[in-house]
Structure 1
Amino acid sequence: MTIHNISKENSILNTFISEIRNVNIQNDSMRFRRNIERIGEILGYEMSKSLNYTSSTIKTPLGKCDISLSNNDIVLCSILRAGVPLHNGLLNYFDTAENAFISAYRHHKHDPESFEIIVEYLACPNLENKTLILADPMLATGQSMVATFEALKPFGTPKEVHLISVIGAQEGIDFVKSHFDNKTHLWIAAIDDKLNDKGYIIPGLGDAGDLAFGKKLQQ
């Protein structure tokens, strides 16, 4: 798997990352959602440089213009519910993409420090020979990303797979890398060092779903 850590180079992305992490700013849920969306736009732009392009000719009011346009058949799949703002940001740039949605959440059976990933809802078009973008803002343990990809397999084999995350822990990235082939690309805005004993990224930003949409009752 090829890892593209966009934060290695300074850009306006740093501003949006700082605001979603900052406890004095992140509790503005509308601003939090918009920042996640803007990060999705930046990651989508960077990812677009790796797509396939063909030369096209378009007609303007004053003549003709040659330009290279992407010819990828894209399916954008996001993990509910935290993935919705990230999905919107990517969709702003890949506006002709087909869309898939899946619910994948942590279910704590007995021990609050251990969990399994439960998938309950899935809506997906045909993936055969298409470009799959799998988006999840927080790549913590990596289990949700892997479980989602496994759930999508009955819908066909994509030609290529791109993973999009806002913040990831190195442990989760290593886990995902061991479950995806070498042709897979991970586009990520920031990589943190570790997880705490509950599987949350440190320093991270907290629970992205709660910050975007409000706290939920635990199951």
Structure 2
Amino acid sequence: MKIFNLAKENSILNTFISEIRDEKIQKDSMRFRRNIERIGEILGYEMSKSLQYHTTNVATPLGNCTMSLLNNDIVLCSILRAGVPLHNGLLNYFDTAENAFISAYRHHKEDPDSFEIIVEYLACPSLENKTLILADPMLATGQSMLATYEALKPFGKPKNVHLVSVIGAQEGVDFIDKNFSEDTSLWIATIDPDLSDKGYIVPGLGDAGDLAFGEKLQH
């Protein structure tokens, strides 16, 4: 798998990451959502450099201009609910993309420290021979990303797969590296070193879904 970790180079991206981590600033849920959205825009811009383009002529008031434009064969899929702000950021740049949404959550059984990934809701167009962008802001264990991808397989085989995350744990990155094909690309804003005993990224930022949309009732 090709891994593009944007934290390896200093940029304005660092400001947005620091703010979503800061426990004081992240209390402003609107700013938290906007920062995730802005990170999605930056990730989308960097990813766009690797996508396929075609040449076309554009008529201006003073003549014609030859331009290389992005091929319109993208399906953008996000994992609900935490993925919505990230989805919006990517959609701001890939505004002609088709869209898919899937719910995937951790179901804790008798042992609160163990869980399984449950996929319930899924709405998706055909993926056959298209570019799939699968977005999940938090790449912790990597199990949600893999479960989501497996659930999408009945909708066709994409020609390219791009995974997009805001923060990942090294363990989760290693997991998807082993379980996705070599031609898959991961675009991630930063990678943290550890996972907690309950499978949360450390230092991370907490629960992205709760910070964006409020606390939820547990199943």
TM-score, scaled relative to structure 2: 0.99
1:149 correspondence with 2:133: no
The range that moved more, 142-151 or 173-182, is 173-182
1:216 correspondence with 2:216: yes
The range that moved more, 51-60 or 183-192, is 51-60
Q: Distance in 2 between matches of 1:55 and 1:123?
A: 32
Q: Residues 37-87 of structure 1: CA distance to partner in whole angstroms, max 9, x if unpaired?
A: 000000000000000112111000111111111114000000000000000
Q: Distance in 2 between matches of 1:216 and 1:179?
A: 30
Query: Number of residues paired by the alignment?
Result: 219
- Runs of 4+ displaced beyond 6 Å: none
Q: Aligned partner of 1:211: which letter? A: L
The answer to whether the Cα contact below 8 Å between 1:77 and 1:99 also exists between their aligned partners in 2 is: yes
Map of 1:42 onto structure 2: 42
Q: Distance in 2 between matches of 1:74 and 1:129?
A: 10
Map of 2:56 onto structure 1: 56
The answer to whether the Cα contact below 8 Å between 2:29 and 2:211 also exists between their aligned partners in 1 is: yes
Structure 2, unmatched stretches of 5+, are none
The answer to whether the Cα contact below 8 Å between 2:82 and 2:209 also exists between their aligned partners in 1 is: yes
The answer to whether the Cα contact below 8 Å between 1:51 and 1:72 also exists between their aligned partners in 2 is: no
The answer to whether the Cα contact below 8 Å between 1:104 and 1:118 also exists between their aligned partners in 2 is: yes
- Compute the RMSD of aligned alpha carbons: 0.5
**Pairing 1:78-89 to 2, within 5 Å after superposition:** 78-89=78-89
Q: Aligned partner of 1:23: which letter? A: E
Q: Aligned partner of 2:215: which letter? A: K
The answer to whether the Cα contact below 8 Å between 2:105 and 2:144 also exists between their aligned partners in 1 is: yes
Q: Distance in 2 between matches of 1:218 and 1:192?
A: 26
Map of 1:108 onto structure 2: 108
TM-score, scaled relative to structure 1: 0.99
Map of 1:200 onto structure 2: 200
Q: Distance in 1 between matches of 2:70 and 2:9?
A: 25
Q: Residues 180-207 of structure 1: CA distance to partner in whole angstroms, max 9, x if unpaired?
A: 1000000000000010000000000000
Q: Percent identity?
A: 80
**Pairing 1:57-136 to 2, within 5 Å after superposition:** 57-136=57-136
SS of the equivalent of 2:57 reads strand
Map of 1:170 onto structure 2: 170
Map of 1:191 onto structure 2: 191
Q: Distance in 1 between matches of 2:91 and 2:210?
A: 22
The answer to whether the Cα contact below 8 Å between 2:72 and 2:97 also exists between their aligned partners in 1 is: no
Q: Distance in 2 between matches of 1:131 and 1:121?
A: 22
SS of the equivalent of 1:77 reads strand
Structure 1, unmatched stretches of 5+, are none
1:31 correspondence with 2:28: no
The answer to whether the Cα contact below 8 Å between 1:52 and 1:72 also exists between their aligned partners in 2 is: no
> Post-superposition shift, 1:216?
0.5
Q: Distance in 1 between matches of 2:48 and 2:67?
A: 15
Q: Distance in 1 between matches of 2:127 and 2:54?
A: 22
